[in-house]
Amino acid sequence: QVQLVESGGGVVQPGRSLRLSCAASGFIFGKYDMHWLRQARGKGLEWVAVIWHDESTQYYADSVKGRFTISRDNSNNTLYLHMSRLRVDDTAVYFCARDFFPRVFDSWGQGTLVTVSS
Amino acid sequence: VMTQSPATLSVSPGERATLSCRASQYISNNLAWYQQKPGQAPRLLIYGASTRATGVPPRFSGSGSGTDFTLTISSLQSEDFAVYHCQQYANWPPWTFGQGTKVEVK
């Protein structure tokens, strides 16, 4: 079955960097576009970034543009989110999710918590 | 902007729950619903405004088009008490969500 497992979260100081990973299994990873989304405690869901299956295109939310980079390694079935210049308001649970036609999110990881605090 | 109402819905088990989602602009039927339980990831319930995702029980139904959408749970089961999110995918990026409706036990 489809499985997505995030890792790499933790506590980091404002201005520092962190890289999240999402290990995929149970499907042909290289055929799917993949997303990162996040959810601050007690808040709604916020889409963060997407990368096309062939790495040809990436889009970002305005709130992270220029600071976050999404990438993938199709040979190792892994999605990444490199986060730099982190801010306190980046504190959230970060989920990776698989894109499903027609552009909804049909499989999600369990999430990894990122806390930005001094 | 996606706006969900009410923020909290108190319903007794076995009763019907009706959740609303309104888009600030026309999105045709490009609307999905997700269920999220505490400490868990969201689960896709409905896409295309009314198509149930794989494995979703028929007590969940979606309707609407344009700007106004509804998720109906015909007879609430104990496992249905959760937060429900709507999401538009007509105009991306970004993909945007409502703020969620919490369905709680009355």
Give the closest-approach CA distance of A16 to chain B in angstroms: 25
Rounded Cα distance between B83 and B80, Å, is: 9
> Which residues have CB under 8 Å from B64's CB, separation 6+?
B21, B29, B31, B49, B50, B70
Which is higher by pLDDT, B106 or B69? Answer: B69
Q: How confident is the model at residue B106 (pLDDT cuts 50, 70, 90)?
A: confident
Written as six digits, the tokens of B60 are 């969940």
pLDDT for B14? 94
Rounded Cα distance between A68 and A61, Å, is: 9
Could you read off the pLDDT of A1-23 as tens digits, one per residue? 999 999 999 999 999 999 999 99
Could you read off the pLDDT of A77-111 as tens digits, one per residue? 999 999 999 999 999 999 999 999 879 999 999 99
What percent of chain B is modeled with pLDDT above 90? 97
Mean pLDDT of A40-44: 94
Contacting A residues, span 33-62, partner chain B, CB-CB under 8 Å: 35, 43-47, 50, 59-62
Could you read off the pLDDT of A46-56 as tens digits, one per residue? 999 999 999 99
pLDDT for A36? 98
What percent of chain B is modeled with pLDDT above 70? 100
Phi-psi region of A110 (alpha: psi -120 to 50; beta: other; left: phi over 0): alpha
pLDDT for A102? 79
> Number of CB pairs < 8 Å for A and B?
59
